[in-house]
Amino acid sequence: MKVIALNGSPRKKWNTATLLEKALKGAASRGAKTELIHLYDLNFKGCISCFACKTRGGKSYGRCAVKDDLKPVFRKIEKADAIILGSPIYFGNVSGEMRSFMERLLFPHLTYTDPPQSLFPGKIRTGFIYTMNTTEEQMRERGYAQLFKHHEMVLRMIFGASEYLCSFDTYQFDDYAKVVSSRFDPEKKAQRRREIFPKDCEKAFAVGARFAESVE
């Protein structure tokens, strides 16, 4: 059993990465082998619209033909039992690196048939962890939930099952005094980091454990 997490944050030891690590620990506690991949360590771009993955009779039909650092990652995903994506929310969307990765991950497996079908070889569990510097109320007011539901729908369509977890009002800096950020209350941010973020970590751990158990 193998569970892979993909970190779409440029930070390797902050909110998103921490939650992904907790999810992998949850999976490992149920016997899964785990791996965390940092997308910002890789050299790749988004979809180049070559349509090799859609070319009738082509050798890359159903798979991305671009040869870069994502090629071995996609091979690992095809052999995995579950994947968990993670990204901070930047300007109402996932990070640019995660967006480019999703284009390359999802588009080759989605057919241009009516209705669309999946070419992914098998069914696996998928999850998404979102971190954001907004409250849950602000998230709903700004329409983020529609984005999350859309990702969930596409991931379910292609891979078979999907769910997501949100971590709100996250602690962004080690020292708020060093950053021009007067709109935030450093004490309230620190308190939430102490009291709420550990609960988010527990939820992430439970996601990983549940994924591993479902595979068993």
**Domain-wise residue ranges, the chain:** 2-215
Dist CA 212 CA 40 (whole Å): 26
Strand pairing report for 124-131 and 2-7: unpaired
Give this prediction's pTM.
0.93
Contacts of 200 (CB under 8 A, 6+ apart): 19, 165, 167
**pLDDT score, position 78:** 94
The answer to whether 129 and 164 have CB atoms below 8 angstroms apart is yes
User: Which residues does the chain have with pLDDT short of 70?
Assistant: 215-216
DSSP 33-80: EEEEEEGGGS---S-----GGGSTT-TTTTS----STHHHHHHHHHH-
Dist CA 8 CA 6 (whole Å): 6
**pLDDT score, position 169:** 92
Count how many Cα atoms sit within 13 Å of the Cα of residue 144 in the half-sphere of its side chain: 25
Contacts of 121 (CB under 8 A, 6+ apart): 78
**pLDDT score, position 38:** 98
Element (H, E) at 7: strand 2-7
The superfamily (CATH) of domain 2-215 is Flavodoxin domain (3.40.50.360)
**pLDDT score, position 215:** 65
The answer to whether 11 and 17 have CB atoms below 8 angstroms apart is yes
